[in-house]
Structure 1
Amino acid sequence: MYSVIEAEQRTPYRWRWVALFVILAVEVMDLLDALVTNIAGPAIRAELGGSYSLIQWLGAAYTLAMAIGLLTGGRLGDIFGRRRLFLIGAAGFTLASLACGLAQTPGQLIAGRAIQGLFGAVMLPQGLGMIKQMFSPAEQAKAFGAFGPVMGLSSVGGPILAGWLVDADFFGSGWRMIFFINLPLGVFAVIGALRFLPEFKSERVPRLDWLGVVLAAAGAFLLLYPLVQGRELDWPVWCFVLLAAGVATFGLFSIYEARRDRRGLDPLVTPSLFRKRAFSGGLAVGLVFFASLIGTGLVFTFYLQIGLGYSPLKAGLTTLPQALGTVAGFVAAGSGLSERLGRRLLLIGTAVMMAGTAGFMLTVWLAGAAISPWRLIPALVAIGAGMGLAMAPFFNIVLAGVDDEETGSASGALTSVQQLGGAFGIAVLGTIFFALVPGQVAAHVDPSSAELQSVLTTAGVPADTQNAVALGLRDCLRDRAGEDDPDVVPPSCRSAAADQPQVRAYAGEQVRAGFQDATVLTAGVALLLLAFAFGLSFLLPRKARPDA
């Protein structure tokens, strides 16, 4: 490892700015792939079949694999060389993208997404490590500063690009183009890495904790799988057994890591970190904050595309105000607010997100069937701006109480928890949403209402059978909304009255109203998560370290 004096005296790497461009290319690939399946998910499910949980797994498989891989990705670079691991990660991510684009079954696509996440976790830490070694301390701020605009542009362009590619249907590829577009980026990254990236290895080669990786991966999967699949399977006993086993596995993981540390071996996560209130609190804040953030994004997609029937492009454009708000929040935080306010900026950002979420709930509830993308703009801008303000100081503040020799382990654990929180948010909020929809849809069908009686009369239903038909319609809509596979027609929906145009139009209105209510209630759960994250934030230091 270089000392500060040696770092200042050494000659910066000649091709460092070109190398930075190559590193940013893979950042774009990762950021796009983390966002695009939310928009393309309903179109993917419509073609490949399967239940709505497929859409949840498209995001959860990627983020869960990324979370587990990030625990070891940086250390693999220390052991085998950062340039070599960058090449392996970029090539693997590109090939996994090709496999996703060619997938013919839901299982193949989910497996491809998981492989993408693993290779992404191998690839991304190497670029960050090389920047610290290629650039002088004076230039590192500029190099790392380039990530902000790239993240901002990707968050703005990702959903829109995904919607446009799906709707454009280039060469008849449909949703598959969201993965094929990675191929030129990946080829560029591999060629650029071969030509311009230098090789770096750590002077002290750590030992890899393979058993720790297995325990962490098993614990996360045992918790995540029943959360996603439990609703579809009607929560059998074994789902709760898996949840308990997941908690127990993480307990074994902590015991094993402490024992490994006492023996003088390299643990996957340094146990002393968890004795620091700031770090433990930061992990809790990150888990809850990103669960709310990522889970809400998925539920919003369900509402727009399944509930309101928006096209992928229209849904992507509807999310644009939130992305622009995020960019504005990052810019404002980077103008000096992070340094001056520290933890207060994190609290302010979370409070703004809470206000935006409450505004979103109120807008959806009041607008009803008259909802439009324009009405959502103020709330979405507030959510995005709050997210940018809160995220900007988060990592530096959490790492403020970490000793220098613990920084590598702490950074890996923190970024892993960020991804793990996203996976759990997708699982939990997605499950809550689909559990609420059937009851909310049925609640809007009142067999005694004058509107429904008028609809049935217009459809030619005799007056003496209208009450029975109305009850049947309510059962049909409830069963249809609760069906795991939306292509399956429940037996309760096979009556002749259900096929009448007037009845179908009325049913569509009630389904939209039910999705609206389920969206408001699920957003309320996300609001509670943000409030919990707000409270946990008081565990963090007031300021980041000057050199963090």
Structure 2
Amino acid sequence: MTEVVVQAGVAGTRRGSPREVARAGGLHPLGVFILLAGAFLPIADFFIVNVALPSIGRSLRATPGALELVVAAYGLAYAALLVLGGRLGDRMGRHRLFQIGAAGFVLASAACGLAPNTWVLVAARLVQGATAAALVPQVLATFHAVLEGERKTRALALYGATSGIAAVVGQLAGGLLVTADIAGSSWRPIFLINVPLGVAVYYIAGHVVPATRSPHPSRVDLPGTLLFGGTLVALLLPLSLGHTLGWPTWTWALLGLAVVLGALTVRVERRSERAGLTPLLPPSVLRLPSMARGLAMVLPFSVGFGSFMFVFALTVQNGLHADALVGGLSILPMAAMFLLGSLVSAKIINRYGRAAIAAGAATQALGLALIATVMVETWPHVALIALAGPLALIGAGQSLLFAGLFRVVITDVPAHHAGIGGGVLITLQQSGLALGVATLGTIYLALEPHSIPTAFATTVGIQFLIALLLTVGARFLPRFTSGTRSDEPVVFDA
């Protein structure tokens, strides 16, 4: 496939066959679907492991700390390398990095599914996270660089929806696959299922995704990359393992180091940009109204979302003594409403803008308040059907939040920085998911031995406050207009 350099909006046509459109530098609807499928697999993989951890522990005789590493290794590699993946895509070609990431993800998933012991599994999860970091940023970058107008708006909304649906479906699929125990393979199909799906994505993408790169490729910012990656590792590693290990001294030392490394990252990146170079995290890009204000909402939203999925799964399985299948199916009302909401979210957001984001946050807050009330008032005889209504409200609200925030964040990012914008966005989302499990999940685990309903209500109450803050915070997002062409400046009004 011939690689072309495109500006946003130049090659967004969808006339002709998918292959012809891709060769012309455009993106056919099938290409949009394949890119979204490529993003779906790595995002779902973060959540699919949750319900399988007990089975992995029994099968591999893994300690609780080792099981934490099975989750943390993937998240650490994924979050730490996402921005670098976006930068390499801008420089080397987004289609090329997408396929490299897809091929690596397939091979790493096979290694996870065939792992003979815990440490091979942890190592394979590290590779899996790293290859996901090469794959995922290319999706947003390609949308941002190739599509225009309403097509771009819909694609960004669908990406936000895909992120949320992948999280919910991942947990649901994990329960189904573990319970099915295919050929006595226990938990292994949760990884092996990525192999045929990933191969299909790799093959089809080779024919329907245009080979584009940034018109202004920049060198890799090695100092910024090392400092930024070190900051994330120093922050997320102790937060992921601290509770399990009893918060030894090294966890606090790493948290202190994260502060130092973060400050150094900011200083080095500012100096690099003043010198006329293109840093890994350009301060000028991060100061864009949509980027700065949107990211300020993406982080707390991701913290609340990640912790809710974790806490709800534990409450249903440990508190209500449901098996993995029931635990996965119990989230179905949330998944269904998320999917339905995602189908109409693009039109709603295009018409109502930031008001739709505020409405989504308020709807989520209502659902969280109701589910906490049901849990506390009917415990221990909680009927899962009584949770369906609140879960549906949570899913509907989150569909608007996901789609709206993802659209806002990268709307005014220049096309030649598309990979950077997508990488920063997904990094913050992934880091927020991990922080949610590490912080609110720790609060839940500390309170659970005393009272499961109190533990659930406390953590969901914090998530409720986050949703209220998002409702108010939507007022301060840049006002975006519908139908804005992506090759023109977006009109913002604070």
TM tier relative to shorter chain: 0.7 to 0.9
Q: Which residue number in structure 2 is paired with residue 382 of structure 1?
A: 393
- Whether the 8 Å CA contact 2:159–2:403 is kept in 1: the answer is no
Equivalent residues in 2 for 1:116-515 (5 A)? 116-130=128-142, 154=166, 157-194=169-206, 197-276=209-288, 278-334=290-346, 336-400=347-411, 402=413, 408-438=419-449, 440=450, 514-515=451-452
Secondary structure of residue in 2 paired with 1:230 = helix
In terms of mean alpha carbon deviation, does 144-153 or 64-73 score higher? 144-153
Query: How far apart are the structure 1 equivalents of 2:253 and 2:302?
Result: 26
Identity over aligned residues, as a percent?
A: 34
Query: How far apart are the structure 2 equivalents of 1:379 and 1:229?
Result: 32
What letter corresponds to residue 20 of structure 2 in structure 1?
R
Give the drift of 1:384.
0.8
- TM-aligned CA distance change 1:56 to 1:362, over 3 Å: farther
What letter corresponds to residue 350 of structure 2 in structure 1?
E
- Whether the 8 Å CA contact 2:160–2:402 is kept in 1: the answer is no
- Whether the 8 Å CA contact 2:91–2:218 is kept in 1: the answer is yes
1:529 aligns with 2:466: yes
1:67 aligns with 2:73: no
Q: Which residue number in structure 2 is paired with residue 101 of structure 1?
A: 113
- Whether the 8 Å CA contact 1:322–1:380 is kept in 2: the answer is yes
What letter corresponds to residue 300 of structure 2 in structure 1?
V
What letter corresponds to residue 376 of structure 1 in structure 2?
L
- Whether the 8 Å CA contact 1:396–1:544 is kept in 2: the answer is no
- TM-aligned CA distance change 1:423 to 1:15, over 3 Å: same
Q: String of CA shifts for 1:207-229, please: whole Å, max 9, x gaps.
A: 11122121111111111222222
- Whether the 8 Å CA contact 1:270–1:406 is kept in 2: the answer is no
* Residue in structure 2 matching 1:547, options 475, 485, 491: 485
Rg (Cα) greater in structure: 1
* Residue in structure 2 matching 1:28, options 21, 40, 44: 40
- TM-aligned CA distance change 1:270 to 1:134, over 3 Å: closer
Q: String of CA shifts for 1:402-432, please: whole Å, max 9, x gaps.
A: 5666555333212211111111112112222
What letter corresponds to residue 47 of structure 2 in structure 1?
L
TM-score (ref. length: structure 1): 0.78
Give the drift of 1:92.
0.6
- Whether the 8 Å CA contact 1:7–1:137 is kept in 2: the answer is no
- Whether the 8 Å CA contact 1:56–1:430 is kept in 2: the answer is no
- TM-aligned CA distance change 1:273 to 1:180, over 3 Å: same
TM-score (ref. length: structure 2): 0.86
Query: How far apart are the structure 2 equivalents of 1:225 and 1:148?
Result: 27
Query: How far apart are the structure 1 equivalents of 2:14 and 2:377?
Result: 62
Give the drift of 1:146.
6.4
Query: How far apart are the structure 2 equivalents of 1:11 and 1:91?
Result: 29
Give the drift of 1:319.
0.4
- Whether the 8 Å CA contact 1:59–1:423 is kept in 2: the answer is no
Query: How far apart are the structure 1 equivalents of 2:341 and 2:206?
Result: 36
What letter corresponds to residue 547 of structure 1 in structure 2?
R
- Whether the 8 Å CA contact 2:60–2:116 is kept in 1: the answer is yes
Query: How far apart are the structure 2 equivalents of 1:53 and 1:269?
Result: 33
Query: Which has the larger helix fraction?
Result: 1
- Whether the 8 Å CA contact 1:61–1:423 is kept in 2: the answer is no
Secondary structure of residue in 2 paired with 1:268 = coil
Query: How far apart are the structure 1 equivalents of 2:299 and 2:154?
Result: 29
Query: How far apart are the structure 1 equivalents of 2:290 and 2:35?
Result: 31
Unaligned runs of 5+ in 2: 23-27, 487-494
What letter corresponds to residue 45 of structure 1 in structure 2?
G
Give the drift of 1:199.
3.4
Root mean square deviation, CA, Å: 3.0
- Whether the 8 Å CA contact 1:60–1:426 is kept in 2: the answer is no
Query: How far apart are the structure 1 equivalents of 2:66 and 2:58?
Result: 10
